[in-house]
Amino acid sequence: MRTPHRFLTAALLLTMPALVPSRLCAEPQTTGPSGAPAKDQAVPQPHAPQATTALSLERVFASPAINGSSPRGVRLSPDGTWLTQLRNRADERERYDLWGFDRQAGNWRMLVDSKALSSGRALSEAEKMQRERQRIGDLKGIVSYDWAADGKSVLVPLDGELFLAGLDGKASAIPGASAVPGTDGGVLNPALGPKGGRIAYVRDRRLWVGPLDAPAQPITPVEASETVHWGEAEFAAQEEMDRQVGFWWAPDETRLAVERFDEAQVGVVTRTSIGGAGTSTYQQRYPAAGTANVEASLWVVKADGSGKVQVDLGPDKDIYLARVDWAPDGATLYVQRLNRAQTQLDMLAVDPATGASHVLFSEKAGPRNWINLSHSYRFLKDGSLLWWSERDRHGHLYRFAKGKWQQLTRGAWEVTALVGVDQKAGRVFFTANRDDPLTGQVYALDLAHPEQVERLTDAGFDNAATMDAKAQAMIVTRSSDTQPPQSYLADVAGKRVAWIEENRVEGEHPYAPYMAGHVRAQYGTIKAADGSDLHWMMLTPPLEPGKRYPVFTYHYGGPHMQVVKRAWHGPLPQAVVDKGYIWFAIDNRGSDNRGTAFESQIWHAMGTVEVADQLAGIDYLKTLPFVDPARVATFGWSYGGYMTLKMLEARPGAVAAGIAVAPVTKWDLYDTTYTERYLGDPRQVPEVYTKSGALADAGKIADPLLLIHGMSDDNVVFDNSTALIAKLQAEAVPFEMMLYPGQTHAIGGPKISKHLYETVFRFLDAHGVPGGGRAPGQGGGG
């Protein structure tokens, strides 16, 4: 549950392969105010089934990845001569190696083979937990890398050690990466200095700095208490603020800003990890809602450890250290300070020589709202700042210069990311849903004429992009309803220069045998109670005249997540359709990329409008002549699991069966930062927590319920399900459950994922929701 990806996007990324919002070519369809199809609504037409290769659940989760290659970390070298990426293996989809494309020679080659260099050393507990925070806990091999400033080498962390891979043609052979002296395990967050002369990393709760050819030395003091950490990001920063690091190099490499936090005042909880061979318990400092956070401070220290200065963060100690940045010239340190209620964000300008600070400006949330943090900002060399804000109730770009604001983008649409800035040309690149709320495109504008916005990407795809530091080249990632994710190198006009991963579904592509049976999604809207458009998507099996079909509704429903997009949604929906189900999803109020008025309706009211909107989607389904109203099931994971429970409680009989995977049932079990952002402090509004929880009304559940949870879940801890189990038993409510020993929140693996979904469909079969069409009044599947 992290900003900006928030509350268990991992359930999608890791267990539902490529069920990631991307895009399709058709225009949005609409429905009338009553929820019935409008005159121009496209309604599926009956047609006879055709012989195709059915997609099994086993194949969905097997290797090679059925979506094709899934590169990570695609980047250009500082000098632009290399394009690098982490590429997963065909025979081991979770293992990644470092590959490079030599733009002059025009060829790809593996730069670092993770198996050749791997020591097999187990990761430290700190690194394992950090990977869980980043939702990459199941990945193997190389998961990150850092370019040297001269573009001649790459820093590669692997198994807690550091290697430097040279790219001069001599040291780039597979075993040619050399170990960085002194980094023989337990290294966290290594970062090369901006000039490439030094390296910094965290080990043993201290920050270490040194040259690349000699062992680094600690530059922060030894603390008597093991609750004190230097150079790390605390749990809340990693989990909920999308900040993974706790130190920041100055541009000239002479100083660093370093976070120090003490978690002594954070409560200790006993976390149980129940595995197949035994049970382990961990005493974990966990900031549950309404309890103390860490005490954080910020310091500036020279690279040799001398001249340590504390930054003045203000008199209120109960704050969040949200973001830290150096000005391009290193003369100023900028700190974003967020109050605990997350209703005010202050930009502090800090003198790094003295630590003195003053408020440059503040962002304040509107009534019944909160501040959404962002990485979409850039300090420019001329002293101005490009800044993303929702101050006009939509996410837009602004320019702040000499104490004055200029709004660069405006309208009832959302800027989703600042991609790059060509400061010399005065050109700004960003992604937004300006043309369609269900797609992302890359746009550009000139600072001199910001009203002239130019789209650079193909409207037939959902697009995202990154750029080099000077915004001279663009890496675009895109997908459509019929095309798994592709990536290519483009120029500043958006013209494709070269494919990085074309990933065409033909020939030997893993999805090619199933493409003939691929079902395209259809889209539409219904109206919410407040008149908002609720976008839905639907995939149907071949519809035979006179038959009605069961529906598998998938929902997430929580903040900062958009499910319905015109994009590649991966093989799982296709496999469900191949089982004879209609796949349906709808984005309720409270979900992402629709503006603050749409999103903030869940403020102090989780489990209300989201539930009403999901039930409205089910009501709409039951009006369709090809839907069997007695066979509508609903499935959700994490926040979606919570939504399943709230839907069953709100209206018994609305669905034939519900599946809740890893659901939150008691919000006061969840952390301060996420929970208080939306529900407030439970010490001040306990009634909000009682009403929003899923336990008080659990006795109202009358429909078949399948509860699933990983027994080593450290995110939505297993206590959420044990509390629900006890409540259901005390109320004599029948239910079924499947527990996974040793599995965390993202329950998964080739066999485990297959087992989970086969369990789901056996449950549906047993409770009268089998796949396949049947005539009205006909029993069993069709």
Q: Which residues are catalytic?
A: 638, 713, 745
Residue 12: both structure tokens together:
């999608």
Amino acid at 281: T
Label residues 731-766 b or e (16+ Cβ within 10 Å = b).
Answer: eebebbebebebbbbbbbbeeebbbbbebbbebbee
C-alpha–C-alpha distance, residues 144 and 156, integer Å: 7
Q: Which residues contact 34 (CB under 8 A, 6 or more apart)?
A: 527
What are the beta bridge partners of residue 300?
257, 309
Tokens 């056996």 -> residue: 762
Phi then psi for 61, rounded to 5 degrees? -105, 5
Q: Which residues contact 123 (CB under 8 A, 6 or more apart)?
A: 131, 159, 160
What are the beta bridge partners of residue 10?
none
C-alpha–C-alpha distance, residues 176 and 112, integer Å: 8
Closest CA to 158 of 282, 168, 174, 170: 174
Residue 545: both structure tokens together:
């005249």
∠ CA 633-636-638, nearest 5°, is 160
C-alpha–C-alpha distance, residues 61 and 637, integer Å: 17
Q: How many residues does the chain have?
A: 782
What are the beta bridge partners of residue 202?
188, 207
Helical segments of 260-335, H only: none
Calculate Rg over the CA atoms of the chain.
26
Written in H, E and C, the secondary structure of 371-394 is CCCCCCEEECCCCCEEEEECCCCC
Tokens 């052979």 -> residue: 173
Amino acid at 456: L
* Cα–Cα separations (whole angstroms), residue 569 to 13, 127, 414, 480, 613: 11, 31, 22, 9, 22
Distance of CA 55 to the CA centre of its chain: 27
C-alpha–C-alpha distance, residues 747 and 711, integer Å: 9
Given a contact cutoff of 8 angstroms between Cβ atoms, the answer to whether 110 and 102 are in contact is no
Tokens 């830290």 -> residue: 324
Label residues 525-546 b or e (16+ Cβ within 10 Å = b).
Answer: bbbbeeebbbbbbbbbbbbbee
Distance of CA 194 to the CA centre of its chain: 28
- Tell me the three state secondary structure of residue 600: helix
Half-sphere exposure of 701 (CA within 13 A, CB side): 32
Given a contact cutoff of 8 angstroms between Cβ atoms, the answer to whether 480 and 23 are in contact is yes
Pairing of strands 627-637, 657-661: parallel
Closest CA to 541 of 577, 583, 584: 577
